[in-house]
Amino acid sequence: MSTNQRMLELIDILNNAAKVYYQGKDEVMSNYEYDELYDELVRLEEETGITMNNSPTVNVGYETLSKLTKEEHVAPMLSLDKTKSVEELTSWLGDHAGILSLKLDGLSVILTYENGQLVKALTRGNGTIGEVITNNAKMFKNIPHRINYKGRMVVRGEALIKYSDFEVINESLSIEEQYKNPRNLCSGTVRQLNNKIVEERNVNYYIYNLIETDSDFGTFNQKSEILEKIISLGFDVAPYKLVDGSTLSTKVEEFSHEIAEGYDIPSDGLVLTYDNIQYSNSLGRTAKFPKDSIAFKWKDEIAQTTLKDVEWSASRTGLINPVAIFEPVELEGTTVQRASLHNLSIVKELKLGIGDNITVYKANMIIPQIAENLTCSDNLPIPDKCPVCGEDTTILNENGTSFLLCNNKACYAKKIKSFTHFVSRDAMNIDGLSEMTLVKFINMGILHDVCDIFKLKEHVEITGLEGFGDKSFKNLIDSIENAREVQLAAAVFSLGIKGVGLSVAKLICNKFPYALSEFSKLTKEDLVSIDGIGDKLAESFIEYFSNPENADLVKRLEAELDILMPEAIDDNRFEGLTFVITGSLNTFSNRKECQTLIESLGGKVSSSVSKKTDYLINNDTTSSSSKNKKAQDLGVKIISEEEFLQLIKKN
């Protein structure tokens, strides 16, 4: 194991030990063992002159900015000319040696180090002027906080969020807040005004090339030598292979196989550059492209096949998701016979029918997708019964997209949903109860309703399950016990009442700070007296608490919890104002955080624009989105996030 690898290993071990310790869980090592490993890490950092951003020996503080400033790049950040032909790529390289690297799919960022410290980070921007994100770059997971080079060094690379992290983050967001791909999530994350969000989202950074440095950095003839020097300073570089005309096509094929097998780093092609520095510098550039590099875009391998079936899979959220099943085809070296159709809108757009001739491909060589329906029979039956419980389904329209939904409250999929919702972050916030774990407990017969969660400590047989030893069982019980103290709004939200999200729960609880069981006393008139609560929502709330089974559940749950009443709102500057939030945010980690602030100031947040809306918050104030158009038609003021923050200061 190299010194750098040992340092990274020590950082992971020590950070994990500290996390467990400060969360009040079992210690994973003694203080003596921790100090020994910590001292070893300090010695290695002193020997190498490298200190990583996430090292426990440094403390990079959180910082919140009011806006991102802009600055001109030391050299223009140009785009690359492109090709989809390996033959053209080979012809371009000629008889020169080259570097073939992954073209990473994130956000281009320039880093500047001086005297061994990161002093500046700039986004690509328009190629000439970028936004300063230095405080965010200090939270990138894998870049050094300190390097063993005291001169000036400017590098270009890609900030990105790995597929594995993207899936976890997206899973925690509502349908409206979810991102389409890791690139969009990374772009929104890197431009946040609160760098704590950047740290939480595990942004990584990979260097492409060196832009500028002092003469004492070293004398190099090959770019590959510079990359090795950069690696020795503690950085990651974009994965690359050395090539020439005889090996280029083979190396392209190797990359394609590696990606097809499940590469965790998002990429959308390859970049080929000449290895010889002097030759590269002699070529210059066009108005748009440098002449020493070219991008290779994957030519999507498309196969024609026959649609055999569409599988309708009920999820824990009650949504019934369509998956296309087709005759197996070979794509990018693997056999593919399934592709997600995501929702009813896509099914309708493709005009699908069983037996249709379709073409399929792998987006970025990874995710199977239907490219085109050549038949367009448009006769696929949409299930009117849930595939799990057999009860009626309905079609839900949300933000212009249609979804299929099961109506049966007792559906097994819904039962799982009620548990996952109950333990979620905005509800009871119980760690350790994943969907898979909940399913195990339900199938064991030890969970019948959510109150049974607080009796799990009696079921020591759990320690006999795979993945559950004494320690993990104790951690789970500790998490459950910690969750007993809960805010009233979170307790109401955890019940899963139709239409009652966290914001609505807060509105009701602020107006009527009752014990849970006393909410049954509220009338429709009481509820609609709250600005933002309409007839249907009021009826849904009353229906829930008037149901005898629900009333019994609420009474038993109340006995398990220590419910904290809401504090009176002292600052109600937004009282009577209704906001709608759309698009990506920079200052706030997500829309819920912005919503919480508005509600704390007495305002209300709605999901759709109406004549009752006072402000639409959208950083892209000139976009042609449906919400912007509707706001313009209704005369609703559209403000950016920065203008919203100024609005707070004015009032």
> How far is the C-alpha of 561 from the C-alpha of 555, rounded, in Å?
10
Q: 321 with 313: CB under 8 angstroms?
A: yes
CA distances from 369 to 372, 379, 472, 533 (A): 9, 20, 39, 41
Q: Amino acid identity of 649?
A: K
Q: Which of 67, 70, 103, 409 is catalytic?
A: 103
Say how far apart CA 468 and CA 228 lie, in whole Å: 44
- In order of 1, 15, 153, 247, 556, the CA distances from 56 in angstroms are 21, 7, 25, 43, 45
State how far the Cα of 360 lies from the Cα of 345, in Å rounded to an integer. 18
**What is the rounded CA–CA span in Å between residue 408 and residue 453?**
23
Residue 109 Rama label (left phi>0; alpha psi -120 to 50; beta): beta
Residues 6+ apart with CB under 8 A from 443: none
Query: CA-to-CA distance for 597 and 386, rounded, in angstroms?
Result: 39
Between CA 262 and CA 259 the distance in angstroms is 5
Integer-rounded Cα radius of gyration of the chain? 28
SS3 219: coil
Buried/exposed 242-251: b ≥16 CB within 10 Å, e otherwise: ebeeebbeeb
**Contact call for residues 473 and 462 (beta carbons, < 8 A):** yes
Question: In whole angstroms, what is the distance from residue 84 CA to residue 69 CA?
Answer: 37
8 A C-beta contact, residue 588 and residue 194 = yes
CA–CA dist 612, 602 (Å, integer):
16
Packed helices 182-190 and 163-171: angle between N→C axes, nearest 10 degrees? 80
On whether the CB atoms of residues 496 and 415 are closer than 8 A, the answer is no
347, burial (CB in 10 Å: exposed 0-12, middle 13-18, buried 19+): buried
Residue whose tokens read 């210690």: 27
- DSSP lists the bridge partners of residue 130 as 71
Q: Is 103 a catalytic residue?
A: yes
Q: What residue has token string 């239907």?
A: 370
Nearest to 365 by CA among 421, 300, 307, 308: 300
Both tokens of 411, joined, read: 């559906």
- Phi and psi, residue 530, nearest 5°: -85, 125
SS (H, E, C) 327-387: EEEEECCEEEEEEECCCHHHHHHHCCCCCCEEEEEEECCCEEEEEEECCCCCCCCCCCECC
CA distance linking residue 534 with residue 340, whole number of Å: 36
Residue spans of beta strands (DSSP E) within 105-166: 107-114, 117-123, 129-131, 144-146, 153-160
- Write out the catalytic residue numbers: 103
